[in-house]
């Protein structure tokens, strides 16, 4: 049996440049990965199957619509002789949460299938299957912090982040990515003057200044659709030692960055006491 971690993705920044003719949006985002996630295993078998359990299993929807299947089928179309097998997904991340849980699961499926079939991860068919499965899957496949551009298909070099002590807070409301982009009502991309690609600075203080000067353009429309995003941001901002609080992706999960792991743990404890129904996780982003 092969096993892979599917780590939550956190968009430390997310700038939307505009809407393309096909409805997708070009963006620029510094993506990092958290120490919390789902777990996927693959046991050799002649047929492709998927069993889902864990606290998020029901919210993830029917197994046959799972992104694990979509990724496996996308790779099988490109590699007809692909050895498949029985997947088991332990679903812990909140669903439709801006943490890319489904994309992380799909990327984990591609990593396991690559391993089982002796395919290198940078094989054109693995990369093609990732792109065909979802905009966030290519970056999740790499699992390393980096800038993501285009609609998620253009990836910058891996970025060595300093230790980022964080708390992730999901206020228990599912937000569909497409609804948040629609509410943004971004201008068409055609004619937009795109600035040259920028890489984040190395080093803690410079990186924090750079992060503070950046934003998540999807936060205002998400706040309009889901006021609980504002409550979760306020809870983080009130916590001692919180340097930055921002929404990840299309929400509703927000993250706070803290001076050290004790401050992050204390903030997580206080938020859990005040909001026992929320999903609250202290973690390190890398
Ligand atoms: C916004 C981001 C930021 O990392 O994350 P999430 O909030 O979903 O985690 C991603 O770009 C989401 O990636 P992913 O969730 O894989 O998107 P997809 O399944 O391909 O697209 C879902 C829907 O989102 C919209 N969409 C997605 C990506 C993009 N660059 N422009 C878009 O307009 C489209 O309406 C699309 O139909
Ligand atoms: N393995 C999966 N985990 C979570 N959601 C999944 C999965 N497969 C398919 N989905 C569907 O994908 C949608 C987006 O889920 P998710 O990836 O959790 O969103 P987000 O990227 O906003 O965190 C959900 O509506 C869900 O029904």
Which ligand 2 atom lies nearest to the CA of residue 249?
22
Tokens for 125? 């068919």
Mind listing the pLDDT tens digit for each residue in 268-278? 999 999 999 99
Q: According to the annotation, is 23 in a ligand binding site?
A: no
Domains of the chain: residue spans and CATH = 2-157 (3.30.230.10), 164-285 (3.30.70.890)
Binding site membership of 136 for ligand 1 (Cβ less than 6 Å): yes
Say how far apart CA 38 and CA 92 lie, in whole Å.
5
Quick check: 102 and 110 in contact, CB under 8 A?
no
Quick check: 273 and 35 in contact, CB under 8 A?
no
**Number of the ligand closest to the Cα of 69:** 2
Mind listing the pLDDT tens digit for each residue in 87-130? 999 999 999 999 999 999 999 999 999 999 999 999 999 999 99
Mind listing the pLDDT tens digit for each residue in 226-240? 999 999 999 999 999
Does the pLDDT of residue 198 top 90, yes or no? no
Buried b (16+ CB within 10 A) or exposed e, 230-247: bebbebbeebeebebbbb
Tokens for 20? 């393309």
Q: According to the annotation, is 235 in a ligand binding site?
A: no
Residue with tokens 């097998």, as numbered in its chain: 85
DSSP3 helix / strand / coil % (the chain, rounded to 5): 35, 30, 35
Say how far apart CA 51 and CA 86 lie, in whole Å.
8
Average pLDDT, the chain: 96
User: What percent of the chain shows pLDDT beyond 90?
Assistant: 94
Q: Please name the helix (run of DSSP H) or strand (run of DSSP E) that holds residue 47, with its range, or none.
A: none
The confidence score (pLDDT) of residue 126 equals 98
Radius of gyration in angstroms for the set of CA atoms belonging to the chain, rounded to a whole number: 19
Read off φ and ψ for residue 85, nearest 5 degrees.
160, -170
Binding site membership of 129 for ligand 2 (Cβ less than 6 Å): no
Ligand 2 center to residue 6 CA distance, Å?
A: 13
Binding site membership of 211 for ligand 1 (Cβ less than 6 Å): no
* Cα 273–chain centre separation: 26
Does the pLDDT of residue 196 top 80, yes or no? no
The confidence score (pLDDT) of residue 191 equals 66
Binding site membership of 151 for ligand 1 (Cβ less than 6 Å): yes
Mind listing the pLDDT tens digit for each residue in 175-187? 999 999 999 999 8
Catalytic residues: 9, 136
User: What percent of the chain shows pLDDT beyond 70?
Assistant: 98
Mind listing the pLDDT tens digit for each residue in 45-91? 999 999 999 999 999 999 999 999 999 999 999 999 999 999 999 99
Quick check: 232 and 97 in contact, CB under 8 A?
no
The confidence score (pLDDT) of residue 95 equals 98
In 3D space, the residue among 246, 211, 217, 195 whose CA is nearest the CA of residue 25 turns out to be 217
Task: Indicate whether this complex's ipTM tops 0.95.
Answer: yes
pLDDT classification of 141: cutoffs 50, 70, 90: very high
pLDDT classification of 189: cutoffs 50, 70, 90: confident
Please, what is the Cα angle at 151 between 218 and 127, to 5 degrees?
Answer: 135
Binding site membership of 97 for ligand 2 (Cβ less than 6 Å): yes
Which of 52, 100, 101 has most ligand 2 atoms within 8 Å of its beta carbon, as the pocket-test mutant?
101
Nearest CA to ligand 2 atom 13: 96
Residues in Cβ contact with 80 at an 8 Å cutoff, skipping those fewer than 6 apart: none
pLDDT classification of 211: cutoffs 50, 70, 90: very high
Does the pLDDT of residue 192 top 70, yes or no? no
Give me the half-sphere count of Cα atoms (radius 13 Å) on the Cβ side of residue 15. 13
């Amino acid at each position: 049996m092969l096993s892979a971690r599917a780590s939550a993705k956190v968009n430390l920044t997310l700038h939307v440049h505009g809407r393309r003719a096909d409805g997708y949006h070009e963006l620029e985002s510094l993506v990092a990965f958290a120490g919390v996630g789902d777990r996927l295993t693959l046991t050799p078998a002649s047929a492709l199957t998927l069993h889902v359990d864990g606290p998020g299993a029901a919210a993830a929807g029917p197994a046959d619509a799972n992104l694990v299947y979509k990724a496996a089928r996308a790779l099988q179309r490109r590699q007809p002789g692909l050895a498949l097998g029985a997947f088991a997904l332990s679903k812990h991340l909140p669903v439709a949460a801006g943490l890319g849980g489904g994309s992380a699961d799909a990327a984990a499926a591609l990593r396991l299938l690559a391993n089982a079939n002796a395919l290198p991860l940078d094989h054109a068919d693995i990369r093609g299957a990732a792109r065909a499965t979802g905009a966030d899957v290519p970056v999740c496949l790499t699992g390393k912090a980096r800038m993501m551009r285009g609609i998620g298909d253009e990836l910058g070099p891996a970025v060595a982040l300093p230790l980022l002590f964080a708390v992730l807070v999901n206020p228990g409301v599912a937000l569909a990515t497409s609804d948040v982009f629609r509410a943004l009502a971004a201008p068409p991309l055609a004619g937009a003057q795109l600035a040259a690609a920028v890489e984040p600075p190395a080093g803690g203080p410079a990186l924090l200044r750079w992060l503070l000067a950046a934003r998540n353009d999807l936060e205002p429309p998400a706040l309009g659709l889901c006021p609980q995003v504002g409550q979760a941001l306020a809870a983080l901002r009130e916590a001692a030692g919180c340097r930055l609080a921002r929404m990840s992706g299309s929400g509703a999960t927000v993250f706070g960055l803290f001076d050290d792991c004790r401050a992050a743990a204390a903030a997580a404890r206080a938020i859990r006491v005040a909001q026992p129904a929320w999903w609250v996780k202290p973690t390190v982003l890398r």
